[in-house]
A and B are shown apart, each in its own frame.
Chain A
Amino acid sequence: MRAPRAAARRPAPPGATGSKSGLGPVAKRIQAGDRRALARLISDVEAGRPEARSVLRELYPRTGRAPIIGVTGPLGVGKSSLINELIQLLRSKGKKVGVIAVDPSSPFSGGAVLGDRIRIERDPDDTGVFFRSMASRGHAGGVSQSTRDAIRLLEAFGMDVVIVETVGSGQVDVEIHQIATTRVVVVVPHLGDEVQTLKAGLFEIADVFVVNKSELPGAERAAKDLRELASLSVARDGWTPRVVPTSVVERRGTEDLWQAILDHEEALHQSGAGERARRERAEQELRELLLERIERMAREELADDTAWTSLLDGVVARETDPYTAADRAFHELRRRL
Chain B
Amino acid sequence: MPEGKSAAPTHGAKGRPIRVLIAKPGLDGHDRGAKVVARALRDAGMEVIYAGLRQTPEDIVGAAMEEDVDLIGLSILSGAHNVLIPRVLALLKARKASDIVVFAGGIIPDEDAARLKKLGVKAVFGPGASLEHIIETARGLAAKRAARA
Contacts and interface: CB of A to CB of B under 8 A. Distances in A.
**Is the pairing of A and B real?**
yes
Interface of A: 35-36, 39-40, 42-44, 46-47, 49, 105-115, 117-118, 124-125, 130-133, 135, 137-139
Nearest to B40: A111
Interface residues of B, number: 38
A139 B14 contact: no
Interface stretch (B50-58, B82-90, B104-112, B118-126): B50-58
B94 to A, nearest CB: 12
Given A47-B14, A124-B56, A125-B58, A114 B43 contact: no
Contacts of A113: 38-39, 42, 48, 50
A117 B52 contact: yes
Given A110-B1, A111-B42, A117 B50 contact: yes
Given A111-B43, A113-B42, A114-B50, A132 B67 contact: yes
Contacts of B39: 113
A114 B10 contact: no
15 contacts: A35-B65, A36-B95, A47-B16, A110-B17, A110-B45, A111-B46, A113-B38, A113-B50, A114-B50, A115-B52, A124-B59, A125-B62, A131-B66, A137-B1, A139-B1
Contacts of B5: 109
Contacts, number: 100
B134 interface: no
> SS class of chain B's interface: helix, strand, loop or mixed?
mixed
A47 B15 contact: yes
A313 to B, nearest CB: 26
Given A39-B67, A117-B63, A109 B16 contact: no
> SS class of chain A's interface: helix, strand, loop or mixed?
mixed
Interface string B97-108: 100000000000
A39 B44 CA distance: 24
B47 A42 contact: no
Contact of B2 (A40, A46, A110, A131): A110
A117 B49 contact: yes
Contacts of A132: 66-67
B143 interface: no
Which of A43, A132, A137, A139 has the largest number of chain B CB atoms within 10 A?
A43
Contacts of A131: 63, 66
Given A113-B39, A113-B42, A132-B66, A107 B2 contact: yes
